[in-house]
Amino acid sequence: MGRQNEVSLPYFELDCHMDDKIELIEAEYGLKGFAIIIKLYQRIYGGEHGYYCDFTPDTALLLASRLCGSSGGVSGKVGIASDKGFLPGFPNNLITNVVSASIRRDIFSERLFKEYGILTSSGIQKQYLKATAKRQVVNLKKEYLLISVPENRSNVVINSISGGRNSISGGRNAQSNSKSKSNSYKNRECMHRIEDFLSVYPKDCNRHLTETAYIDLLMTGKITEDELVQCAVNYTETCKILGTPERYIKNAENFLKEFVFEKYLPGQYHKPAKVASATLVTTAEVKSKNRFNDFPQRDYGSDGMSAMERQLLGR
């Protein structure tokens, strides 16, 4: 059974040399302003979404209470700067004002905050993608994206907040088109034997990548599901006969994408001969085979060796 996909990050990178935007927040609001930005980053990366967080009036109240010891943030104000850029409908506290200044300085996206009430940025999204490169599936919302997802990120699925599950943007490069076709193929319920393929394959699979490669092959019309399942059966048989270590067994997606499966197709597959099992070799066999260019070796025995030693030592 597959485990639930991870979303949040256990940690995030923090540059030793912050850019001017962050330094201006610290200049305006002191170290508390800097600390609030870091706490917001923790809330974003460590939260339920991983690359953004909601910021509501209630959020501002809770953070002010936790960080400043007052929901009004009076004890946290620094000079008169905290009264600038007040967000309408939000409590007038240090948290709100730091967020307002951060939006004004483009630390967080103003457009996405106004439209969706979230805090994120292109830098945050880039770091999130970098940190999730090895995850099985990374779900992103199309409307929240401020960056272009690289074409080689086949584990990224872009959903729409209005279009339901796996509603992938049709305007996003060839990778998106391929995924759209894959989902369309799934919706037509043409993929009947994927479970059979996964169950007989000799190694645990990355399901998302394997399904994508599996569907892409089926869409060519040049191979059937029955053939792919039989290829997996034949490959498993070969690995067992040859005793192939797991680290040398092809990942399922590469087995399909790299067309390794072709030599395991019915009619092309040749069952390998069994590897001879190791047998015990007796001492007599060792002696009979202990030759150099068929020159017989002498067995001096213990007495013979002692005599030779005495002769060599002049005794």
Average pLDDT (170-188) is 43
Selection from 67, 71, 9, 17 nearest residue 41 by Cα: 9
pLDDT of 26 higher than 60: yes
Provide the pLDDT for residue 252: 92
Q: At what angle do helices 122-131 and 20-45 cross, to 10 degrees?
A: 50
In whole angstroms, how large is the CA radius of gyration of the chain? 33
The DSSP letter of residue 150 is P
CB 107 within 8 A of CB 146: no
| Rounded Cα distance, 193 and 106, in Å | 50
Q: Which is it for strands 118-119 and 138-141: parallel, antiparallel or unpaired?
A: unpaired
pLDDT of 100 higher than 60: yes
Indicate the average pLDDT of the chain. 76
State the sign of the Cα–Cα–Cα–Cα dihedral 34, 25, 59, 104.
negative
Neighbours of 107 (CB within 10 A): 22
| Rounded Cα distance, 13 and 127, in Å | 8
Sheet strands (E) in the chain: 53-54, 118-119, 138-141, 156-159
Please give the model's pTM, rounded to 2 decimal places: 0.48
Neighbours of 105 (CB within 10 A): 17
| Rounded Cα distance, 215 and 173, in Å | 19
Provide the pLDDT for residue 264: 94
Pick from 27-36, 175-184, 210-219: least confident: 175-184
Provide the pLDDT for residue 67: 73
pLDDT of 294 higher than 50: no
156 bridge partner residues:
138
